[in-house]
Structure 1
Amino acid sequence: MRIIYLMHVSWFWAKQRPQFIAEHLSKENKITVIYPQQFGKKEKCVENLNPNLKIKYFRRIPGAYKIKFFGMLHDLIVACQLWSDIRKTDVVWVTHPFLYRFLIFFNFSTNVKLVYDCMDDVLEFPDTVNNVSRRKSMLELEKALVSRSKIVFSTSHYLSEKLKKRYGSDLNPKLVNNAINIDSFTKKSHEELPEVIEKCFRDDCVNIVYVGTISSWLDLDLIRKSIGIQDKLNYIFVGPSEIFLQNEERLNFPGPIKHELVPALLKRADVLTMPFILNELILAVNPVKLYEYIYSNKPIVSVRYEETEQFSPYVMLYKNEEEYLKIMQQLVLGDFPLLDVDCNQSFVKNNTWNKRVEIIQECLIKEI
């Protein structure tokens, strides 16, 4: 099967669901990944990962949407860049509604099918929630994309139900949760950490690590309160930041880390955490980091909501401030939970990207 795989972020951005699915699909299909790249930016050379996986980019003009006419012209220019690939494919895989702007020019024949992989509730990101015109535009794009897609995948049950409520109860999204790439974790756990991260660890404290995007959904007020109560807690939040933060006493923000170094970082931690503020965006998230955390065989603390309940045998869940602070007190006193390593590894091995793509491949064969 020939698949044009349209990504909304660079192939070289933090390795996530889109890259893993593309790589695994290429084992049985010919995949051409195409992602946006702004004019004037130099791009890395892409090595041939395997004969069935080709990586390309299309050019975008920064600021093109400030004027409506130029925005429409820009979309047409991008569509022209995509035409030679799309006309020869069987499937066009779309990772974000924004990409549908470039597909409205195509009259897809019965031989070319659209597939939408809905990874997040795109209408609930802060830059969309707080922008009425952007939210309206994104809603229209996603509605059109969903209506024309032969298959819609979603990452969580909550997200599936929201899509059905938003676009019609007859919609039947296929649930494909996130997962873990075990191979990269097995090979990279002994790498050395950059000094900027290593120096954040303290021998006289319980070192609690978070890995991921640092944004408004992190409950930093709760973190600061726990630091004020317990003087043996040291937090290290590693990842790209969407908000301005400075290091505080026992609250560290050393910046992003290469994906291949994440296993070594998790191994270095005493405890791993996911302290999210629950909102509509987070409630729809099936958290990749919990799969990775569990594989590391470290104590894990996470906020409790529908999507984290499935992790309850392996994770300490809290639903409010009181429960979180009680868990922190236990950790400071050395009352770490007993970990069933075999149970952890069994769970992870049943939740790999290879397993997820087997489900996707079956759907493609059946529906396409």
Structure 2
Amino acid sequence: MSELVVLSHLRWDWVWQRPQHLVSRLGEGLPTWFVEEPMPVPGLPAPSMHVEPSGGVNRAWLKVDHDGHWIGFGDLLARDYGDRLVDLLPPQPGRVVWLYTAAALPLAMRLDPSVLVYDVMDDLSSFKGAVPEHRLRHQAALKAADVVFTGGRSLHRGVTAFRHKDVHCFPSGVEPEHYAEASHLRPESRPRPVAGYVGVIDERIDLDLVAAIADALPDWDVEMVGPVAKIDLATLPTRPNLRWCDARPYAELPAVMAGFDVALMPFALNEATRSISPTKTLEYLAAGLPVASTRVPDVVADYGTVVALCDDGPGFALACRSAWANRPVGVPPVHPVVKAQNWDRIADRMAAAVVAAPAGAVETQGRSARDV
């Protein structure tokens, strides 16, 4: 691997999650590019490429004239993205191109990869606002990739319905040493217990359930920490003991979780959550927190004996009160599942799979963006 180019639907500086954890490790010591979706800039005279170093990663995106909030890789306004990206990144032997969204497959093929990786971290076709053709693009990316990774067992089942060869399941991991600080920062007592959530707040969160949890725990505080996406702020429920807090940087998350006594995963059970494997499960456990969650399939399968599975507000309240009554004295031991799912180990195993992939298997010669 001489160069790593990642094409992602997520901004590098948004929420620190699977792409950032893996790319920061896999790209160490290599020229690494993180190519993002186009950025709308009202009044821009002409489209232009923007490059911005961020640590050991070069962020890049196309700026276009638009007054909207979101433009995807396949938008007509971004039709010149491929040409501009090729100008920025001329052919490079040994280049690995890493996809996080099938919408960027045409761009990936333009970059003439020696190895094409498709890391399926979410079923994006089931998300709110997904274009109808995304499912077909997903299948095309599965066919084109030299190696495919999946972020959980439900995603893996969906992928292997289309492809079996060179498909590897790597659920997301955790940095135990990062979150361990939370156990040491957590006070022995506070005026009121706190149940909290950290993460993106979008259509995957059951807002009615959040309100029901707050209602069932009137003597607790409920804190929801994270960016709100694809949800009208006016629809967020309000309660005297419910607080909606802005996103916090990754470096501050241990301190945020030190402010919790129980961690919540109040996910809706819908198409958008059918295949998710929440990274925050391990992060909560590494922070020394008991966890209460709805019955998301991968949570039930992977952590059913570790987290409290709940169905409604009273169920969450019961789990929270039980965890509070049986809280350990001092710093709790690190759960064995946390040690097993370390991001360093996962990145090493994924790198080995990339090295073992048949280099040059991607057929790019004579193909245009409209062919994929």
- Alignment root-mean-square deviation, CA: 3.4
Counterpart Cα distance in 2 of 1:116 and 1:8: 13
1:355 to 341, 345, 350: 345
- Flag structure 2 segments of 5+ consecutive residues without an equivalent: 43-48, 360-372
The question of whether the paired residues in 1 share the 8 Å contact of 2:183 and 2:288 is answered with no
1:93/1:314 CA distance change after superposition, 3 Å: same
2:141 to 133, 145, 152: 145
> Which residue matches 1:237?
224
For 1:141, give the aligned amino acid: R
1:238/1:162 CA distance change after superposition, 3 Å: same
For 1:17, give the aligned amino acid: R
> Which residue matches 2:364?
none
* Structure 1 position 289, deviation (Å): 0.7
> Which residue matches 1:20?
21
For 1:258, give the aligned amino acid: P
> Which residue matches 1:161?
157
> Which residue matches 1:209?
196
1:74/1:325 CA distance change after superposition, 3 Å: closer
The question of whether the paired residues in 2 share the 8 Å contact of 1:7 and 1:36 is answered with yes
* Structure 1 position 105, deviation (Å): 4.8
> Which residue matches 1:303?
294
In terms of fraction of residues, the more helix-rich structure is 1
Indicate yes or no: 2:319 matched with 1:327. Answer: yes
Match runs of 1:206-285 below 5 Å: 206-242=193-229, 243=231, 244=233, 245=236, 247-285=238-276
TM-score (norm 2): 0.79
> Which residue matches 2:114?
112
For 1:365, give the aligned amino acid: V
Residue aligned with 1:127, SS: coil
* Structure 1 position 171, deviation (Å): 5.5
Indicate yes or no: 2:129 matched with 1:91. Answer: no
> Which residue matches 2:123?
121
Counterpart Cα distance in 2 of 1:191 and 1:6: 37
Counterpart Cα distance in 2 of 1:39 and 1:247: 32
* Structure 1 position 311, deviation (Å): 2.3
Counterpart Cα distance in 1 of 2:30 and 2:53: 19
2:83 to 80, 89, 96: 80
Residue aligned with 2:239, SS: coil
Counterpart Cα distance in 1 of 2:99 and 2:137: 12
Match runs of 1:45-60 below 5 Å: 46-47=53-54, 49=55, 53-60=56-63
The question of whether the paired residues in 2 share the 8 Å contact of 1:7 and 1:95 is answered with yes
Counterpart Cα distance in 2 of 1:349 and 1:239: 26
* Structure 1 position 340, deviation (Å): 9.1
* Structure 1 position 321, deviation (Å): 5.6
TM-score (norm 1): 0.80
Counterpart Cα distance in 2 of 1:125 and 1:71: 17
* Structure 1 position 322, deviation (Å): 5.8
1:359/1:185 CA distance change after superposition, 3 Å: same
> Which residue matches 2:355?
365
Counterpart Cα distance in 2 of 1:365 and 1:304: 37
> Which residue matches 1:8?
9
Residue aligned with 1:282, SS: coil
Counterpart Cα distance in 1 of 2:180 and 2:90: 37
Match runs of 1:179-190 below 5 Å: 179-185=173-179
Indicate yes or no: 2:310 matched with 1:318. Answer: yes
Counterpart Cα distance in 1 of 2:208 and 2:296: 19
For 1:155, give the aligned amino acid: G
> Which residue matches 2:285?
294
For 1:206, give the aligned amino acid: P
Counterpart Cα distance in 2 of 1:141 and 1:60: 24
The question of whether the paired residues in 2 share the 8 Å contact of 1:114 and 1:149 is answered with yes
* Structure 1 position 319, deviation (Å): 4.5
Residue aligned with 2:129, SS: helix
> Which residue matches 1:342?
333
For 1:119, give the aligned amino acid: M
Counterpart Cα distance in 1 of 2:319 and 2:178: 31
For 2:200, give the aligned amino acid: T
Aligned residues: 339
The question of whether the paired residues in 1 share the 8 Å contact of 2:213 and 2:313 is answered with no
Residue aligned with 1:277, SS: coil
* Structure 1 position 182, deviation (Å): 3.6
1:190/1:328 CA distance change after superposition, 3 Å: closer
